[in-house]
Amino acid sequence: MTIEESEAQSTSSSTETTGSMSPTSSSATAQETVKRLKEIAKKIREQAATMKETAKTLRESGAIEELTAAVREAAIAARDASKEISDTARKLREEGVIRDTAAAIEDATKVAKETAEEIRTTAKETKQEAAPKTTQTASRAVDTLKKKTQQAAAAGKTKGKLKKRKLKSQGA
């Protein structure tokens, strides 16, 4: 039973007996409270003994020393890595590498934008010049196909050619 549970029971018991304040009921409540306090004290002693035993086991096993050594090594490694990164960044800044890299990126971006604009302009010009010619060429090709189809149909050649092809494919 936890301290909170004991207090809650104690409060509910005293609330129940408040209506009839007879000497026997308050005496019973006091005895219950004493009993609960003794139980709480016993549990505290048990938990303290468990904690002592756990601490003793940890100390004897060497786990605390291992954990401490591991944390120390991790802290040293983090410190060394931070120092190296700082030194490298300082060196790059002093040599102008960062500034030169930023300038190169800026120049590359500018050139890429100019190239994109040139491609857009070229595409527009090509479209304006080529579209009418392409349309005329396609129109002429369609007209030619129509004429040849009409001529072949009129001459009856289409049916004959299809029959010959069919016979050749069956015989082969």
Q: Please report, for the chain, the start and end positions of each structural domain, with discontinuous segments joined by +.
A: 96-129
Single pTM value for the model: 0.36
Degrees, nearest 5: CA angle 119-122-124: 110
* Model pLDDT for residues 108-139, shown as the tens digit of each residue: 898 888 888 888 888 777 767 666 666 677 77
* Model pLDDT for residues 2-47, shown as the tens digit of each residue: 555 555 555 554 444 444 444 556 788 999 999 999 999 999 999 9
